[in-house]
Amino acid sequence: MKNKPILAIFDFCDTIFDGQSVTFFLNFLESKLPLYKRIYAKVMKKINKIPPSNSKEYKENLMQVFYGIEEETINKYCSEFYSKVILNRLHKCVIEALLYHKKERHIIAIVSGGFDIYLKYFARDYGIDYLICTKLEFKSGIFVSKILGDECLGNGKLELLSKNLNLSDYDLLNSFCYSDSRSDLPLFSLVGNKVIVKNNQDISWANDSFQILEVDRKYA
């Protein structure tokens, strides 16, 4: 019987990318607005009473200022965001790990709460097999300031991964998961090789089954 393929799962924000990509993206998109809308966006941030713990509603409230922008225009901004921001904040050591897995012909999945509309460029350039992430909603080519379905966070990551891949087809004992966050324990629990990307965060929750990959602020 043919050996099952090995899966390499990567979180994106604070793992591959230095920072929370959604925050960087919304700030970048805000910079493209006319002045009166930029002022409105700053006011909305100050009066936003939705707690960040209510993640989807919190983000949708912040995105109201972008309602009505054409999908074609947002795609153009996303391409610029990718080249000017994403590519300049990639953790070199994590990219090296990703390229190692590609060389070994492992199946690579990015599982991220980041938005599909800019992560698709990273997936294209790095030949990612599966991009599983949060999707934005457009109607008739217009952004409606909504997240399509559920965010790809916490247990939702495992649910979406399971919908996109038949996990029983993989050698999970020898597979890998890379993330910085305790919230990704559902993904870590899948695999035999658990790698925490350490970037000054508290990792007291980790036990001896985890490996540590410490970032050094060198970018790819």
Domains of the chain with CATH codes: 7-214 (3.40.50.1000)
| Residue 144 contacts residue 67 (beta carbons within 8 Å) | yes
Which segment of 41-45, 61-65, 129-133, 198-202 scores lowest on mean pLDDT? 41-45
Task: Say whether 133 sits in a helix, a strand or coil.
Answer: strand
State yes or no: pLDDT of 133 exceeds 60. Answer: yes
State yes or no: pLDDT of 36 exceeds 80. Answer: yes
pLDDT band for 42, please (50, 70, 90 cuts).
Answer: confident
Q: What is the DSSP letter of 171?
A: -
Q: Which two tokens stand for residue 158?
A: 């495992």
Q: Give 134: exposed, middle or buried? Use CB within 10 Å, 0-12, 13-18, 19+.
A: buried
* CA pair distance 31, 124, nearest whole angstrom: 26
* CA pair distance 112, 129, nearest whole angstrom: 14
State yes or no: pLDDT of 2 exceeds 50. Answer: yes
* CA pair distance 45, 37, nearest whole angstrom: 12
Residue 166 identity (one-letter amino acid) = N
pLDDT band for 164, please (50, 70, 90 cuts).
Answer: very high
Nearest to 177 by CA among 206, 136, 216: 206
User: What is the number of residues in the chain?
Assistant: 220
State yes or no: pLDDT of 185 exceeds 60. Answer: yes
Which residue has tokens 């599982």? Answer: 111
pLDDT band for 220, please (50, 70, 90 cuts).
Answer: confident
* CA pair distance 181, 14, nearest whole angstrom: 8
pTM higher than the cut 0.85: yes
| Residue 63 contacts residue 55 (beta carbons within 8 Å) | no
* CA pair distance 156, 44, nearest whole angstrom: 28
Indicate the helix (H) or strand (E) that contains 111. strand 107-115
pLDDT band for 1, please (50, 70, 90 cuts).
Answer: very low
Percent pLDDT > 70 in the chain is: 99
For 145-153, what is the mean pLDDT?
A: 95
Percent pLDDT > 90 in the chain is: 86
